[in-house]
């Protein structure tokens, strides 16, 4: 699905990612864990195409294409989705309207017919149930006045509607209480599919109790220092990150 | 290494061809440039006006000559040479005044059709009556008969002077006196056409009324005068739209609008202003210097001003409400967009005189490119205005970093029982908002439009349905970039 090779990225002149190598196959779920400030969000932003991140070395190949040459909206049309760590509020822009514009832009891109308002509303109602998002959120401004947890739920709801091939979930678990976490995890698990890859960024192993990853990576100091299975997450929970750093330095 | 850069910055999304910029090639009867008492006599004679109106004009003119042009607004422009513009221009084919629709020059019908305003009977906008003003004259008014059946008068003001002189004389200049300000005095001296609306007691006007102003002739000014009277318990929703051709010269538009609302009457006045804004270097465009005021004379009367100001090189206007009647209500909802080199100094005045009067001000300013805009608002609570309340919200949105937005709120409270609330925000169109939309598959250009329209939503919601769509589209026109 996606292959990242020797990726170096700097932000505002400061090098954040220093040679990331990562390959994720179709249908796989990978967790990326790492201390605060290690570059996890930077990586997800670069994949989604945010401005201001300078790729100084390396490449990202997505479905066999050069991802870095694509505009952010084109990446979305091709199935890249980012659930933001801090979803932004867009006052006055209707949540459903934004999604409909996104879905239909992607459909146009694929040469498919656009969904009309009726069909779209039906789709949206169905997907809202998946994350137990109250219908009233559909007609509100994008994230306008949503609580932290509601914003995160809204992100997963959007993922459900947009049906991406590659979903990046950037700390979707943070700020969620245990009930909300369960709901969100259930939603994500329902969205697991053979043709859908997921990258979960988190620094708590808690989320991984609910969504079992195939592979766990440790991102620290701008590099993937260690890769393992879900037991690695448990070990990190117990021992912290320093031993990984020491091991990598040795 | 490949880095994906945004190829276009938001400020580039602000230029787009002005779609109403064409010129209608038509024979005109145009006065030579210049302003003196003879010109005023000539205009008055053209319209076959009664003696009192000529004298009213001359008095205004004499007053105007003693006044100097004000310079306090936060705008800069080349001053107008009042002797170099023509004060009357009318299509020759309309020389004998407003005609029945079948007799209107096809060229004029075509002009309005091109602007999306069908005047032919079979194409009328459902539920909307239109008065079409072309340069100095009204060329057609639709649905006049149907309105007449319920007692509503909707006609060009020159026709009202002829057919309903007592009504005009009773109300003209009672809200905006001839000497009110420099431009109001000028307008009173030389006004040519505009709409007259009278809604009799207890009548709810059965359709939207609208006037469509078009400036076409070169080197002319448009000085229209609109007078709306809503008698006790009546209701009317009125809309004006404005466009002008694309020309390198600045043209002056100095209108006066007077609204009178008696007991329990309601007037909803909406403006979609799309005068030619000039080009990206600030060449040409309309000077839009307008005096609009409502007199909420009656108890429980209510006037709502809603304006969407997207055109003009310079906009300078403050639609205001004098809340004289007890429990009367004034509202002002405004979206002003300044792009390229456009400048706007706009806002409102809410003058609370009656008891328990209420006013609401919602102003949304959007500046892009090198656009500059100011919100200027006055809320005055007179000593007599026991229990008055005002809510003011003014938000500014900046697109790019070469534009500017300013707010000048003035408050004068003479009665301690007043309740005042004021909220103000200034935000930049966020890179994070744009990216959020893009990551959902929406192009940057569509995202800008979406965010701007969202920002304006509270105001657009106040527009009559038929025009909310138009307003949305106008904002789009103004912000879309030529896609490369
Ligand atoms: N726009 C930015 N400007 C400057 N520094 C940034 C910017 N974005 C991120 N950084 C820096 O990059 C580093 C990695 O940040 P981030 O990717 O958000 O880490 P994580 O998500 O792993 O907590 C941090 O030191 C952060 O301060
Ligand atoms: Mg982060």
- CA torsion sign for B52, B57, B62, B63 is positive
Residue B312's pLDDT is: 84
Residue B12's pLDDT is: 43
| Residue B402 within any structural domain of the chain | no
Res. B3: pLDDT tops 50: no
Res. B7: pLDDT tops 60: no
| Residue B332 within any structural domain of the chain | no
Residue B121's pLDDT is: 59
pLDDT digit string (tens) for A39-84?
999 999 999 999 999 999 999 999 999 999 999 999 999 999 999 9
pLDDT digit string (tens) for B446-479?
898 899 889 998 898 888 876 777 777 677 644 4
Q: How many Å apart are CA B259 and CA A117, to the nearest integer?
A: 41
Between the CA of A161 and the centroid of ligand 1 the distance, in Å, is 29
| Residue B365 within any structural domain of the chain | no
Q: Are B471 and B335 in contact (CB under 8 A)?
A: yes
User: pLDDT grade, residue B338 (50/70/90)?
Assistant: confident
Number of C-beta neighbours around residue B88 at 10 A: 24
According to DSSP, residue B483 is labeled P
Res. A6: pLDDT tops 50: yes
pLDDT digit string (tens) for A73-101?
999 999 999 999 999 999 899 999 999 99
Residues of B in contact with A52 (CB under 8 A): 431
Q: How many Å apart are CA A199 and CA A166, to the nearest integer?
A: 8
Interface test with A, best of B1, B428, B441 (most A CBs within 10 A): B441
Res. B118: pLDDT tops 50: yes
List Cβ neighbours of A99 (8 Å cut-off, separation of 6 or more): A124, A158, A161, A162, B440
Which two structure tokens, joined as six digits, stand for A84?
A: 């933001």
Domain boundary among B266, B285, B317: B317
Res. A250: pLDDT tops 80: no
Please state the atom number of ligand 1 nearest to the C-alpha of residue A52. 1
User: pLDDT grade, residue B414 (50/70/90)?
Assistant: very high
Q: Name the residue with tokens 């933001």.
A: A84
pTM of the model: 0.83
List Cβ neighbours of A12 (8 Å cut-off, separation of 6 or more): A52
Q: Stretch B140-154: mean pLDDT, rounded?
A: 88
Q: Are B376 and B346 in contact (CB under 8 A)?
A: yes
| Residue B263 within any structural domain of the chain | yes
| Residue B374 within any structural domain of the chain | no
| Residue B124 within any structural domain of the chain | yes
Q: Stretch B390-398: mean pLDDT, rounded?
A: 93
Which of B101-105, B146-150, B253-257 has the lowest average pLDDT?
B101-105
Q: How many Å apart are CA B170 and CA B172, to the nearest integer?
A: 6
The interaxial angle of helices A95-109 and A117-130, nearest 10 deg, is 110
Report which of residues B475 and A210 the model is more confident about.
A210
Q: Stretch B154-176: mean pLDDT, rounded?
A: 95
Residues of A in contact with B446 (CB under 8 A): 101, 105
Between the CA of A58 and the centroid of ligand 1 the distance, in Å, is 19
Residues of B in contact with A66 (CB under 8 A): 2
Residue B138's pLDDT is: 75
Tell me which residue in B435, B436, B441 faces A105 most closely, judged by beta carbons. B441
Res. B443: pLDDT tops 80: yes
| Average pLDDT over chain B, rounded to an integer | 86
| Residue B52 within any structural domain of the chain | yes
Minimal-distance CA residue of chain A relative to B9: A51
Which two structure tokens, joined as six digits, stand for B399?
A: 């697109």
Res. B16: pLDDT tops 60: no
Between the CA of A36 and the centroid of ligand 2 the distance, in Å, is 7
Q: Stretch B55-75: mean pLDDT, rounded?
A: 93
Between the CA of A11 and the centroid of ligand 1 the distance, in Å, is 8
| Residue B47 within any structural domain of the chain | yes
Pocket test for ligand 1, best of A10, A13, A38, A42 (most atoms within 8 A of CB): A42
pLDDT digit string (tens) for B185-241?
999 999 988 899 999 999 999 988 988 888 777 777 889 999 999 999 999 999 888
Give residue ranges with CB within 6 A of ligand 1: A 11-12, 14, 16, 34, 36-42, 52
Range of the domain at B445: 433-484
Q: Are B392 and B361 in contact (CB under 8 A)?
A: yes
- Using alpha carbons, select from A55, A59, A61 the residue that is nearest to residue A17: A55
Q: Report the complex ipTM.
A: 0.96
Domain count of the fold of chain B: 2
Residue B398's pLDDT is: 87
**Residue B320 β-bridge partners:** B293
- Percent of chain B scoring above 70 in pLDDT: 91
Which two structure tokens, joined as six digits, stand for B252?
A: 């002056």
Which of A107-111, B94-98, B440-444 has the lowest average pLDDT?
B94-98
Pocket test for ligand 1, best of A8, A9, A14 (most atoms within 8 A of CB): A14
Between the CA of B318 and the centroid of ligand 2 the distance, in Å, is 48
Res. B435: pLDDT tops 90: yes
Res. B481: pLDDT tops 70: no
Residues of B in contact with A68 (CB under 8 A): 1-4
Q: Sheet containing A29-33: which strands, arranged edge to edge?
A: A80-83, A166-170, A197-202, A29-33, A215-220, A223-228
CA–chain centroid gap for B17, Å, is: 22
Helix (H, G, I), strand (E, B) or coil at B474: helix
Residue B95's pLDDT is: 60
User: Max CA-CA distance within chain A?
Assistant: 61
B300 and B440 together in one domain: no
Q: Are B279 and B244 in contact (CB under 8 A)?
A: no
Q: Are strands A53-62 and A65-66 parallel, antiparallel or unpaired?
A: antiparallel
- Using alpha carbons, select from B113, B3, B119, B6 the residue that is nearest to residue B445: B6
B442 and B303 together in one domain: no
Tell me which residue in B436, B441, B458 faces A84 most closely, judged by beta carbons. B436
Residues near ligand 2 ion, CB 5 Å cutoff: A 40-41, 85
| Average pLDDT over chain A, rounded to an integer | 94
**Residue B61 β-bridge partners:** none
Q: Stretch A121-143: mean pLDDT, rounded?
A: 91
The interaxial angle of helices A95-109 and B444-460, nearest 10 deg, is 150
Tell me which residue in A51, A77, A142 faces B441 most closely, judged by beta carbons. A77
CA–chain centroid gap for B274, Å, is: 9
**Residue B328 β-bridge partners:** none
- Using alpha carbons, select from B301, B163, B177 the residue that is nearest to residue B229: B301
Res. B1: pLDDT tops 70: no
Res. B74: pLDDT tops 60: yes
Res. B8: pLDDT tops 60: no
User: pLDDT grade, residue B124 (50/70/90)?
Assistant: low
Q: How many Å apart are CA A84 and CA B435, to the nearest integer?
A: 11
Q: How many Å apart are CA B450 and CA A240, to the nearest integer?
A: 44
Ligand nearest to the CA of A219: 1
Ligand nearest to the CA of A16: 1
**Residue A47 β-bridge partners:** none
Cα–Cα distance list, A103 to A12, A74, B109, B140 (Å): 33, 12, 41, 45
Domain boundary among B317, B337, B355: B317
Min distance B315 CA to chain A CA atoms (Å) = 26
- The 3-class secondary structure across chain A, one letter per residue, is CEEEEEEEEEECCEEEEEEEEEEECCCCEEEEECCCCCCHHHHHHHHHCCCCEEEEEEEEEECCEEHHHCCHHHHHHCCEEEECCCCCCEEEEEHHHHHHHHHHHHHHHCCCCCCCHHHHHHHHHHHHHHCCCCHHHHHCEECCCCCHHHHHHHHHHHHHHHCCCEEEEECCCCCCCHHHHHHHHHHHHHHCECCEEEEEEECCCHHHHHCCCCEEEEEECCEEEEEECHHHHHHHHHHCCHHHHHHHHC
Residues of A in contact with B445 (CB under 8 A): none
- Using alpha carbons, select from B112, B126, B135 the residue that is nearest to residue B31: B135
Q: How many Å apart are CA B481 and CA B477, to the nearest integer?
A: 9
Domain boundary among B317, B340, B369: B317
Res. A115: pLDDT tops 70: yes
Write the DSSP assignment of B96-123 as a string of letters: TS---GGGS-HHHHHHHHHTT---SGGG
Interface test with B, best of A91, A99, A103 (most B CBs within 10 A): A91
Q: What is the CA radius of gyration of chain B?
A: 22
Q: Stretch B368-393: mean pLDDT, rounded?
A: 94
- Using alpha carbons, select from A32, A64, A66, A70 the residue that is nearest to residue A49: A70
Res. B11: pLDDT tops 50: no
Residue B467's pLDDT is: 73
Minimal-distance CA residue of chain B relative to A98: B437
Residues of A in contact with B453 (CB under 8 A): 92-93
Please state the atom number of ligand 1 nearest to the C-alpha of residue A171. 21
Domains and CATH numbers, chain A: 28-49+72-249 (3.40.50.300)
CA–chain centroid gap for A58, Å, is: 21
Strand (E) or helix (H) holding B184: helix B182-190
């Amino acid at each position: 699905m996606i292959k990242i090779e020797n990726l170096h990225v700097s932000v505002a002149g400061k090098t954040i990612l220093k040679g990331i190598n990562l390959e994720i196959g179709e249908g796989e779920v990978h967790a990326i864990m790492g201390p605060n400030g290690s570059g996890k969000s930077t990586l997800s932003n670069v994949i989604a195409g945010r401005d201001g991140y300078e790729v100084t070395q390396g490449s990202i190949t997505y479905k066999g294409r050069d991802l870095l040459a694509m505009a952010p909206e084109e990446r979305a049309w091709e199935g890249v989705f980012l659930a933001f760590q801090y979803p932004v509020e867009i006052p006055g822009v209707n949540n459903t309207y934004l999604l409909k514009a996104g879905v239909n832009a992607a459909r146009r891109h694929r040469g498919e017919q656009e969904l009309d308002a009726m069909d779209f509303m039906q789709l949206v109602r169905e997907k809202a149930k998946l994350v137990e998002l109250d219908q009233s959120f559909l007609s509100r401004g994008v994230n306008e006045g949503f609580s932290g947890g509601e914003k995160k739920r809204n992100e997963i709801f959007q993922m459900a509607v947009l049906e991406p091939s590659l979903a990046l979930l950037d700390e979707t678990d943070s700020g969620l209480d245990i009930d909300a976490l369960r709901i969100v995890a259930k939603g994500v698990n329902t969205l697991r599919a053979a043709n859908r890859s997921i990258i979960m960024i988190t620094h708590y192993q808690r989320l991984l109790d609910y969504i079992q990853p195939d592979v766990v990576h440790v991102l620290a100091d701008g590099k993937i220092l260690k890769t393992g299975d879900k037991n690695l997450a448990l070990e990190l929970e117990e021992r912290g990150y320093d031993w990984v750093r020491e091991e990598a330095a040795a | 290494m490949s880095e994906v850069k945004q190829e276009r910055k938001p400020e580039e999304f602000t230029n787009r061809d002005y779609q109403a910029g064409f010129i209608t090639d038509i024979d005109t009867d145009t006065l030579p440039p210049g302003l003196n008492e003879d010109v005023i006599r000539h205009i008055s004679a053209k319209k076959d006006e009664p003696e009192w109106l000529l004298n009213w004009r001359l008095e205004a003119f004499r007053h105007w000559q003693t006044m100097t042009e004000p310079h306090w607004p936060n705008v800069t422009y080349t001053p107008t040479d009042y002797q170099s513009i023509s004060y009357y221009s009318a299509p020759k084919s309309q020389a004998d005044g407003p005609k029945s629709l079948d007799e209107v020059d096809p060229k004029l019908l075509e002009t309005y059709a091109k602007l999306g305003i069908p005047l032919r009977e079979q194409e009328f906008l459902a539920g909307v009556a239109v008065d079409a003003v072309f340069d100095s004259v009204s060329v057609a008014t639709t649905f006049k008969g149907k309105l007449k059946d319920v007692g509503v008068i909707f006609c060009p003001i020159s026709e009202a002077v002829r057919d309903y002189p007592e009504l005009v004389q009773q109300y003209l200049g009672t809200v905006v006196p001839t000497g009110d300000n420099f431009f109001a005095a000028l307008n009173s001296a030389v006004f040519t056409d505009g709409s007259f609306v009278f809604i009799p007691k207890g009548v709810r006007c059965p359709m939207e009324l609208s006037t469509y102003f078009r400036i076409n002739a070169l080197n002319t000014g448009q000085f229209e005068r609109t007078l709306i009277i809503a008698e006790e318990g009546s209701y009317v929703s009125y809309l004006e739209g404005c466009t002008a051709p694309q020309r390198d010269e600045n043209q002056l538009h100095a209108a006066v609008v007077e609204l009178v609302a008696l007991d329990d009457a309601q007037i909803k006045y909406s403006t979609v202003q799309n005068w030619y804004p000039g080009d990206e270097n600030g060449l040409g465009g309309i000077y839009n210097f307008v005096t609009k005021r409502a007199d909420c004379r009656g108890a429980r009367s209510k006037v709502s001003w809603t304006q969407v100001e997207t055109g003009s090189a310079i906009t300078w206007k403050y639609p205001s409400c004098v809340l004289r009647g007890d429990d009367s209500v004034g509202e002002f909802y405004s979206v002003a967009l300044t792009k390229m080199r456009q400048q706007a100094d706009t806002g409102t005045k809410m003058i609370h005189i009656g008891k328990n009067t209420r006013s609401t001000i919602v102003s949304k300013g959007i500046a892009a490119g090198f656009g500059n805009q100011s919100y200027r608002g006055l809320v005055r609570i007179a000593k007599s205005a026991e229990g008055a309340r005002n809510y003011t919200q003014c938000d500014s949105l900046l697109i790019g970093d070469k534009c500017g937005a300013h707010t000048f709120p003035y408050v004068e409270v003479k009665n301690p029982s007043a309740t005042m609330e004021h909220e103000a925000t200034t935000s930049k169109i966020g890179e994070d908002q744009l990216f959020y939309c893009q990551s959902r598959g929406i192009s940057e250009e569509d995202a800008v439009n979406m965010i701007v329209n969202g920002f304006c939503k509270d105001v657009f919601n106040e527009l009559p349905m038929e025009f909310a769509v138009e307003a949305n589209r106008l904002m789009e026109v103004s912000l879309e970039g030529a896609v490369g």
